[in-house]
Amino acid sequence: MNNILSAQNPFFEQYQTPHETVPFDRIQTEHYEPAILEGINQQKAEIEAIIQNPEKATFANTVEAFEQSGKLLDKVTTVFSNMLSAETNDELQALAQKVMPLLSEHSNNITLNEKLFDRLKEVYNQKEDLQLTQEQHRLLDDIYDSFVRHGANLEGEAREQYRQLTNELSMLTLSFSENNLKETNHYQMLLTNKADLAGLPEIVMETAAETAKSEEKEGWAFTLHAPSYVPFMTYADNRELRHKLYLAYNTKCTHDNEYNNIDIVRKIANTRMKIAQLLGYDNYADYTLKKRMAETSNAVYKLLNQLLEAYTPTAQQEYQEIQDLARQEQGDDFVVMPWDWSYYSNKLKNKKFNLNEEMLRPYFELEQVKKGVFGLAERLYGITFKKNQDIPVYHEEVEAYEVFDKDGKYLAVLYTDFHPRTGKRAGAWMTSYKEQWIDRKTGENSRPHVSVVMNFTKPTANKPALLTFNEVETFLHEFGHSLHGMFANSTYQNLSGTNVYWDFVELPSQIMENFAIEKEFLHTFAKHYQTGELIPDELIQRIVNSSNFNAAYACLRQVSFGLLDMAWYTRNTPFEGDVRVYEQEAWKKAQILPVVSDACMSTQFSHIFAGGYSAGYYSYKWAEVLDADAFSLFKQKGIFNQEVADSFRKNILSKGGTEHPMVLYKRFRGQEPTIDALLKRNGIK
């Protein structure tokens, strides 16, 4: 390695920052590629050393040695992949197109390395005689299974076919994501007639005016980012413009331009099917679910069909009620279409409960919400948060906090990133820059660095960032994921924090959402940003009363996404048909609103085509069953009950993937979950 290059590249040094956090202020785009290439070379050498070890294969010299390999590569690719999501640009995306095939090939070179697999298999075959700890057993099983699931048992032509398919898949998913981001950023609806803004709240108009002004345009600019799109669809009186914006959003990546994802959807679904079949499975869902709590497609469909049966009658009533309201205003021939749903839902909610998002915004100023959410963790778990401006960040809007445990010891670093930018993908997520592990030689517990990334309402020239109630729930959700990362206490990085079964990972996040309607919690922070008045009890009661408003429709919407996901990944023959038609057929049982023939979800459904939720979107509903059942214990004992919180931390949040999730859940709850608590919470039962 060139010493001059090494001296200039921060990835090649031990970070000289607080807690060895990423020195974002020193990292340039040109640093990634040489660090990735050197990381690949270093891991190759580490793998070769394992293979060439003349001693008999043992857990320490093979399994642990493999688990500890690739530190430099992990260090640089973690930052690189996170920046592709949170702060990307054309140069980074071009580099991704260049290095992703190299990374895919390197990964294949490891899992298809016969000599390495032989040594792992040697240890695996004698595991019952090795007196391993529970965690060591889990690590050995996970690594062995991972090799098998990534082609280690394939031979000859099948191995080469596997290489080719996985390389193709890595490029397809990257292109899918980039197209989605670019198409989202590309669209703008500029309005110059103030009459077109009728119905919109002042804060929404201010934001739209500032968006236009930032691009030296006159008028009000609306985009497909959630803080712009959602309020427009909810409040704009102009139906024609709602229709226009709806179609722009729901036809993303279907147009005759360079961002079209239709053929990419086909190719991703077909490539995953071929990989699964190459590995001996009938379809990709069978392959994926083998390492999930659900285990089989039948179990997933059983849950989705249970929810369909339980919620459909109520969802149909909800639609009819909104249709009736709309017809009172528009006449008996009026049909509520998808671009009318949010608008008339909001009107009905206001009529029934005297409540809408704009009434609540003044009580949810972002700084106060942060105090509330951090304060909730302090009250439940005794942890504290201290902003540290010496920790470098990747954008001026990002803040970094040191987190301390109840005994005052350093626990983690938490980054927060709240607002939309052109370089940030849509949605909200939690991620890690460094996982937790325990050094086997020194016993040092190396603590994690985690980040929560959102796309919340921005401050304007006249107002601070005032969140919607939905954004408060999203904050709690992602913060729940971050607690799972921050409380991690595993020996091995591979089993640490959120490295759990995908249909279990949403339990720590979704359980936190339950606090959003609890008066005791809201009273800790929800104050009017101008007057300082605490949110009135009567307003909280309206939030509680309305908490199940359109709950059945919302459930079926999630079920429809689960059905669509399963339809793509239970296929055992290649798909060459019409993506829109296939989609409409796949989820028709869960559709309550009239079908819009031009709309297409699949072409922008990053969760299942570019994220980790392929054959896994059902996980949100699966985990909702868990979180409703789990939170019922908090409700029973008190929402701030220390005993319950300590048990949740000890048995769920700190354990990561060290044991099977159902074992952990039953240890916390004392029983397996049933759907009853969810039905009761949603007012269905």
Give me the active site residues, please. Answer: 478
Which regions of 546-639 does DSSP assign to beta strands (E)?
none
Residue 545: closest CA among 352, 362, 364: 352
What the block records as the tokens of 527 is 């104050």
Distance CA(197)–CA(206), nearest Å, equals 11
Residue 18: closest CA among 398, 388, 395: 388
Distance CA(272)–CA(276), nearest Å, equals 6
The continuous run of DSSP H or E covering 453 comes out as strand 449-453
Angle at 197 between CA 191 and CA 203, to 5 degrees: 105
Distance CA(428)–CA(435), nearest Å, equals 20
Residue 566: closest CA among 524, 605, 519: 605
What the block records as the tokens of 262 is 């239709």
Distance CA(263)–CA(21), nearest Å, equals 41
In the chain, the N- to C-terminal Cα span, in Å, equals 66
* Length of the chain in terms of residues written: 685
Written as one string, the DSSP assignment of 211-277 is HHHHTT-SSEEE-SSHHHHHHHHHH---HHHHHHHHHHHHTTT-SSSTT--HHHHHHHHHHHHHHHH
Distance CA(287)–CA(281), nearest Å, equals 6
Q: Is there a contact between 457 and 486 (Cβ–Cβ < 8 Å)?
A: no
What are residue 402's phi and psi, to 5 degrees? -85, 140
